[in-house]
Amino acid sequence: MEIKYSTHHNWYKDISQPVLENFSKKQRKRISKTLLLLSENHISISMHEIDEVFLNQFLPFYREIIEGKKNPRVMDIRSRLDSNGNKYKQYGLLIKEKDVLIGGTVVMNKKNTCTTAFKAYKHNWLTANLEVGPSLISEYFVTTHALNSNYTKLSHGRDNNPYGQYSSIGLCAYKLSMGYHPVLPKEYEVLTLNTDNVLEPLLVLERPENGQAITLAHFFHDTETLNLYGKVTKYPDQLLVTLHNLEE
Q: Which domains does the chain have, with CATH numbers?
A: 1-12+159-248 (no CATH), 17-151 (3.40.630.30)
pTM score, whole prediction: 0.89
In order of 75, 138, 179, 187, 205, the CA distances from 57 in angstroms are 16, 17, 30, 33, 34
10-41, pLDDT tens digit by residue?
999 999 999 999 998 999 999 999 999 999 99
Task: Express each pLDDT in 41-84 by its tens digit.
Answer: 999 999 999 999 999 999 999 999 988 877 677 888 998 888 87
Give CA–CA dist 87/111, Å, rounded: 9
Pairing type for strands 114-121 and 153-160 reads parallel
In total, the chain counts a number of residues equal to 248
Could you give the CA distance from residue 144 to residue 123 in angstroms, rounded to a whole number? 22
d(C-alpha 216, C-alpha 223), whole Å: 22
Split at pLDDT 50, 70, 90, the class of 138 is very high
